[in-house]
Amino acid sequence: MKLGGRNAVVRELLPFASTSATVIIGANVEHVGRWGKPPIASFVASLDSSYAKYVARVAQQKAPGDVELLSRMLHELLLTFYQATSQIPQRVVYYRGGASQDQYFGVLQAEMKALRKAFKLLSADCKPRVTFIAVNKRHHLRAFPMNSSGENNVEPGTIIDTGVVDAHGFDFYLYGHKNDQGTTTPCHYTVLHDESALSAEDVHRLTFHLGFTLGRSTRSTSLVAPVYLARLAARRARCYMREVSDGPFKSKFDLAGPHDGIRNCMFFI
């Protein structure tokens, strides 16, 4: 990564980037699924107003919704943001991947509680407004342009927010990237909690523009960059996981973190 972690930035100013100290957080739980290995929880948080530079924290999740573990990881991210910007966050936009729709309520309850605890650990005055957005690519929706001129895939930036979405909720499908082969699959975003009363246009613009901030890609990505980075961090953490014997028929796994010298860099890219 060049320029301190920024290979490129979006030319157009992103929503509320200049009006308040905003942290973009990406969260994901990687289920390794083999040999009894525990899931890996990963978080990334933005450190700049262009939302291009991130710091990550990873840990074994021994129990689903472990509030103590999650709050400790989130507190470390918020503290790093404060040290980098000298600002207490006023707004948090939290993108959560790796959860199915039937898990949304439990995930929201546990991780909002962890966020509140992390805010208190940072400062008694830290009371940012939180927008919590679930991210899901595991669905069967496919769409095609009605008047295509040789191009059968939907153009990047297309939003579907009527007809096939929840009539009583705030969700949308976003085509964030251009597919060279096969049928493009949109990403499904569901706003589960919003204390900032953001307009649909602001959420759409922010989510689409974040697809251009991934440093390892020169084009937009199908998945919003913070969740993409959280997945990369979790997969990188597999390299730090070692098996510790616990008897002849049972194994334990120990997750060693990265060296302190690279801990706050984008080592997982």
Adjacency order of strands within the sheet including 54-60: 54-60, 40-46, 22-30, 91-96, 129-136, 187-194, 171-174, 159-160
CA dist., res. 136 & res. 139, Å (int): 7
Give me the pLDDT at residue 63, please: 78
Query: Where are the extended beta strands (E) located within the chain?
Result: 22-30, 40-46, 54-60, 91-96, 129-136, 159-160, 171-174, 187-194, 241-245, 251-255
Class of the CATH domain delimited by 22-136+191-255: alpha beta
The answer to which of 85-99, 160-174, 213-227, 241-255 has the lowest mean pLDDT is 241-255
Contact 57, 73 (CB under 8 A): yes
Where exactly are the structural domains of the chain? 22-136+191-255
Each residue's pLDDT tens digit, 111-153: 999 999 999 999 999 999 999 999 998 888 888 888 766 678 8
pLDDT at residue 185 is higher than 70: yes
For 117-150, letters b (16+ CB in 10 Å) and e give bbbebbeeebebbbbbbbbbeeeeeebeeeeeee
